[in-house]
Amino acid sequence: MPSNRIGRINEEIQRVLAEQIRHLKDPRVSQVGMVSITRVDTTGDLRYARVYISVLDKSREKEVLKGLKSASGFLRRELGQALQLRYTPELQFIGDDSIQYGAHILEVLRQVERQDEAPPKAEE
């Protein structure tokens, strides 16, 4: 479990990057539609940050991740200016499918619920 300080830094990184991603001019990112940062995990020494990305159009997720990787130097520089930390973490962008997984689990639960509500079949 991250310390309270790391947790606050993760939230700030997420906030700053979400703002900066909206202003990127790379067409792989800007013309895709909705791109969300679902969470950020920073190492204790603040050298690396895993940034989990969710894209509305899943078919273009790899394209978006390539665009973000290409812009990571710019994003890291902007992050450093905004947070003024001793070390600005190196950004690693990862596709996040937790929303899709959650939707799948919800559908499975609904199927089970429907089966429980169905009247039992009469035995012959």
What tens digit of pLDDT does each residue of 55-99 get? 888 888 899 999 999 999 999 999 999 998 888 999 999 998 887
Joined together, the tokens standing for residue 9 give 């830094």
% of the chain surpassing 70 pLDDT: 94
Of 77, 79, 71, which Cα lies nearest the Cα of 42? 79
**Can you tell me the distance from the alpha carbon of 40 to that of 91, in angstroms, rounded to the nearest whole number?**
10
Q: What CATH architecture does domain 4-117 belong to?
A: 2-Layer Sandwich (3.30)
**For the chain, domain boundaries:** 4-117
Joined together, the tokens standing for residue 86 give 């001793």
The pLDDT value recorded for residue 123 is 65
Residue given tokens 């606050």 in the structure block: 8
Mean pLDDT of the chain: 88
The pLDDT value recorded for residue 102 is 84
**Can you tell me the distance from the alpha carbon of 10 to that of 85, in angstroms, rounded to the nearest whole number?**
12
The pLDDT value recorded for residue 122 is 64
Joined together, the tokens standing for residue 24 give 């990127």
Of 74, 70, 83, 81, which Cα lies nearest the Cα of 42? 83
State the pLDDT confidence band at 124, using cuts at 50, 70 and 90: low
* Model pTM score: 0.78
